[in-house]
């Protein structure tokens, strides 16, 4: 798949990360190589790509790495070799020894780490309590980077339920929002996932590229949605699979001429930080 002038081919990779970091890195390498062969310039991997276990707990603290640790070093070498941007979820060391940081890292060829994003909305819902083990990200400047003439924004999983996150990225200039996730299965959860991914693209007239864990843990259905809410490419329940689509600044401009909803809106996004980043949820299920 080749891209024309002003276009970028984006790939979402649907994987099943586990508790073996070396194996996770090998999976990323194989899929990144395939995506590159198929013309991708940006490849998005799921949340918790560096390490995943079914239960949040001490194992995550033991597996946490610094941003210049083995996982990101591997991404940097791979990005340089393949000449692609790689985005993936890192279990990262935090300033709190009892909790880790749920971090997205974007690595570009020849530039190294070009953006990071720490998950702002922790999954204290549907019986889960991520705040027990994860430090919430700061309400800071939107995490964006530029590649091939387009601006890409970063957000994570449960952030999808909060449209203000995506709108903040769009206000910062994002043309494409990249959304690594571990959207866990459950009643109506696949419906929630596909509906909300589509809504974030449609209401902001942008592209959304969302990469989830494969079943049986995640719902799968990794997808790339265009500014009119049309799914351009999707993966079903496959493990270690790719979906690729061409994203285009010209297409965004055309859609916004017909549907100028961003220009017509009458509200801004105002941050509302929590007192301590925790809530009253309990349990271990996540999304």
- 4/24 Cα distance (integer angstroms): 33
Pick the catalytic residue: 65, 119, 130, 221?
Answer: 119
Domain ranges within the chain, ordered by starting residue: 8-264
Query: Does 16 have pLDDT greater than 60?
Result: yes
pLDDT of residue 174: 97
Q: Which of 116, 136, 110 is nearest to 124 (CA)?
A: 136
Burial class (CB within 10 angstroms; exposed 0-12, middle 13-18, buried 19+) of 215: middle
Q: Distances in Å between the alpha carbon of 205 and those of 27, 72, 127, 169, 193?
A: 33, 32, 33, 12, 18
Residue partners of 60: CB distance under 8 A and separation at least 6: 51, 53, 91, 100, 133
Sign of CA dihedral 152, 117, 65, 47: negative
pLDDT of residue 278: 45
Q: Is 203 a catalytic residue?
A: no
Instruction: Write out the two tokens for 93.
Output: 């060391």
pLDDT in tens, 217-255: 999 999 999 999 999 999 999 999 999 999 999 999 999
Choosing among 3.30.2400.10, 3.60.110.10, 3.30.710.10, 3.10.105.10, the CATH entry for 8-264 is 3.60.110.10
Mean pLDDT of 183-197: 95
Q: Which of 190, 125, 198 is nearest to 163 (CA)?
A: 198
Which has more confidence, 23 or 271?
23
- 162/182 Cα distance (integer angstroms): 16
pLDDT band with cut points at 50, 70 and 90 for residue 271: confident
* Cα atoms in the 13 Å half-sphere on the side-chain side of 31: 32
- 8/217 Cα distance (integer angstroms): 30
pLDDT of residue 128: 81
pLDDT of residue 280: 36
Query: Does 144 have pLDDT greater than 90?
Result: yes
State phi, psi for 34 to the nearest 5 degrees.
Answer: -65, -45
The alpha carbon torsion through 48, 287, 46, 230 (nearest 10 deg) reads -170
Q: Is 47 a catalytic residue?
A: yes
pLDDT of residue 285: 46
Burial class (CB within 10 angstroms; exposed 0-12, middle 13-18, buried 19+) of 13: buried
pLDDT in tens, 194-216: 999 999 999 999 999 999 999 99
pLDDT in tens, 49-78: 999 998 999 999 999 999 999 999 999 999
Q: Is 119 a catalytic residue?
A: yes
pLDDT in tens, 37-54: 999 999 999 999 999 998
Pick the catalytic residue: 65, 101, 130, 157?
Answer: 157
pLDDT of residue 6: 63
pLDDT in tens, 254-267: 999 999 999 999 99
- 131/225 Cα distance (integer angstroms): 30
Mean pLDDT of 177-183: 98
32-46, 89-103, 126-140: the lowest-pLDDT one? 126-140
């Amino acid at each position: 798949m080749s891209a024309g002038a002003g276009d970028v081919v984006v790939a979402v990779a649907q994987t099943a990360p586990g508790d073996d970091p070396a194996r996770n890195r090998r999976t990323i390498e194989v899929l990144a190589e395939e995506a590159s062969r198929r013309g991708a310039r940006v490849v998005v991997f799921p949340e918790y790509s560096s390490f995943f276990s079914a239960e949040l707990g001490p194992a995550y603290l033991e597996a946490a790495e610094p941003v210049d640790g083995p996982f990101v070093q591997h991404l940097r070498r791979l990005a340089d070799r393949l000449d692609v941007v790689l985005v993936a979820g890192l279990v990262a060391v935090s300033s709190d020894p009892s909790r880790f940081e749920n971090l997205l890292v974007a690595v570009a060829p020849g530039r190294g780490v070009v953006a990071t994003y720490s998950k702002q909305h922790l999954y204290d819902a549907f019986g889960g309590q991520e705040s027990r083990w994860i430090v919430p990200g700061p309400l800071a400047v939107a995490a964006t980077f530029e590649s091939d003439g387009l601006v890409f924004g970063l957000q994570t999983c449960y952030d999808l339920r909060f449209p203000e996150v995506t709108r903040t990225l769009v206000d910062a200039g994002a043309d494409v929002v990249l959304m690594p996730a571990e959207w866990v299965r459950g009643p109506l959860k696949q419906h929630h996932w596909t509906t909300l991914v589509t809504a974030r693209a449609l209401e902001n007239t942008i592209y959304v590229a969302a990469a989830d864990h494969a079943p049986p843990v995640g719902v799968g259905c990794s997808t790339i949605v265009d500014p009119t809410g049309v799914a351009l490419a999707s993966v079903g329940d496959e493990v270690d699979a790719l979906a690729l689509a061409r994203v285009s600044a010209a297409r965004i401009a055309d859609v916004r001429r017909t549907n100028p909803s961003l220009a017509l809106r009458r509200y801004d996004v105002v941050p509302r930080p929590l007192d301590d980043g925790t809530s009253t949820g309990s349990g271990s299920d996540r999304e």
